[in-house]
A and B are shown apart, each in its own frame.
Chain A
Amino acid sequence: MVDTAVAIGVEKMLEVDTLTSTAVGGRGGNYLWEFHMFGTSFAAYYALFATAHMAKFGTTEEDLALVAVKNHKYGAMNPKAHFQREIKVEDVLKSRVVARPLKLYDCCPISDGAAAVILASEEKVKELKVEDPVWIEAIGFSSDTSSLSRRMDYVGLPAATQAAQMAYKIAKVGPKDIDFAEVHDCFTIAEIMAYEDLGFCKKGEGAKMIREGETYIGGRIPVNVDGGLKAKGHPLGATGCSMVYEVTKQLRNEGGRRQVPLKNYVALTHNVGGHGFYVYVMIFRR
């Protein structure tokens, strides 16, 4: 066992063209039964979730666009974001279709990026007299099948719900105690499903949260105020560490003009592998 460690996340995705990147990504889904036979990209996977969510709960393309608008707003305030330009709902709606109902601005970009986290044991933190540590209160984890044929439905990620429940139990907190969250918004629908899977609202009410501005700074629970995967970018291997970076800055009140109000000094990250093959939910406290 070590008492200090550095976790480094890094990804260079821009060296190949979009169709190659999409194929490499899509093969990371279910290869044989889905990619091989039907050409499923990750945009297509999340589009399947979006169609089902819209049919079951009345979520609209405008609701999806609102997520992109919010995350671009914060991306525009983040000098480390890939996209630093605000957009409007109509920009999203008019952007070209990628996988219906998802359009270009519903999708995270293909990005290069890196982030690192220094981890230390409680003893080491005390020994080194670290001035302002941020503590990992809980790591919740769960996994699921990669085959959409074996999912019960397409309106959420069960692994996210299970991982969140585990994390809340370990940290002895509930969704109401979370000051702000970083969630895996690889596509706009993913953020809406995350609100629900993490218990920020009831299943089916995710769209209502974004419509009512509850996930903006000043809202009930700000989400992805660094721009999220959507605007900050999603260099796969670096995304998790970049979430921890943002949470650390925010919990230390170093968020600058993107600073969220802190009540309990408790934050949550939600990171998804595949379309919910595995999900980690971490809870942090300062």
Chain B
Amino acid sequence: MAAQERPTIRSRPLTLVHEIPIARIKRFWDGLKEGKVYATKCKKCGQLYYPPQVDCFKCLGSDVEWVALSDEGVIETFTESHLKPQGFTHYEEPYIIAIARTPEGAKVMGWLEGISADKARVGLKVKITTTIKPDGYPAIVFKPAETS
């Protein structure tokens, strides 16, 4: 229906920015600055958690150790996203969102860089790295480990 048939008035904008508490998972965020991706492992039952969490839903314990995941991964799936939601519009378009499996069996989400979406494929071996983007947000970045 044409806009003139349904007149509207524009609202005042609302900006919502949260300070998200990370006290119990600070190690993960510190790790990103050190180039490491941390998972947690329950000291009692050995369950590995990625994304990390400090309460074990398997044995209900809360005593975990922080373990840095291997920097080797294999791509399980990916998408080149041309759609940038509000909050991501300043990034170079498009970005490739991917999930890589590490030798520990953790499945890590990251941005796949250094390869075009045409050449990316399920099964691609990648190096798992971390970076701080120019806007200050940390990110996990996969880079092809193979030369194509």
Contacts and interface: CB of A to CB of B under 8 A. Distances in A.
B139 A19 contact: no
Contacts of A150: 107
A49 B79 CA distance: 9
B76 A149 contact: no
Interface hub of A37, A49, A154 (most chain B Cβ within 10 A): A37
A162 interface: no
A37 B140 contact: yes
Interface string B117-144: 1000111000000000000011110000
Interface in A88-143: 96-102
A44 interface: yes
B122 A43 contact: no
Nearest to B106: A149
Nearest to B39: A149
A34 B139 CA distance: 11
B109 A149 contact: yes
A147 B57 CA distance: 15
Interface residues of A, number: 40
A52 B85 contact: no
Interface residues of B, number: 37
A48 B78 contact: yes
B88 A148 contact: no
SS of B interface (majority): loop
Contacts of A101: 79
A39 interface: yes
Contacts of A19: 84-86, 89
B97 A52 contact: no
Interface string B18-52: 00100000000000000000000000000000110
A13 interface: no
A51 interface: yes
Nearest to B101: A149
A94 to B, nearest CB: 15
A40 interface: yes
A23 B83 CA distance: 10
A33 interface: yes
Nearest to A17: B86
Interface of B: 8, 20, 50-51, 76-89, 91, 94-95, 97, 99, 106-111, 117, 121-123, 137-140
14 contacts: A15-B8, A19-B84, A20-B86, A37-B138, A38-B95, A38-B139, A39-B87, A40-B81, A47-B81, A52-B122, A97-B82, A98-B81, A99-B79, A149-B51
Interface of A: 15, 19-20, 22-23, 25-26, 32-35, 37-41, 43-44, 47-52, 55-56, 96-102, 147-151, 153-154
Given A37-B109, A149-B51, A153-B76, 7 more contacts: A19-B85, A39-B91, A47-B79, A55-B77, A101-B79, A149-B107, A149-B109
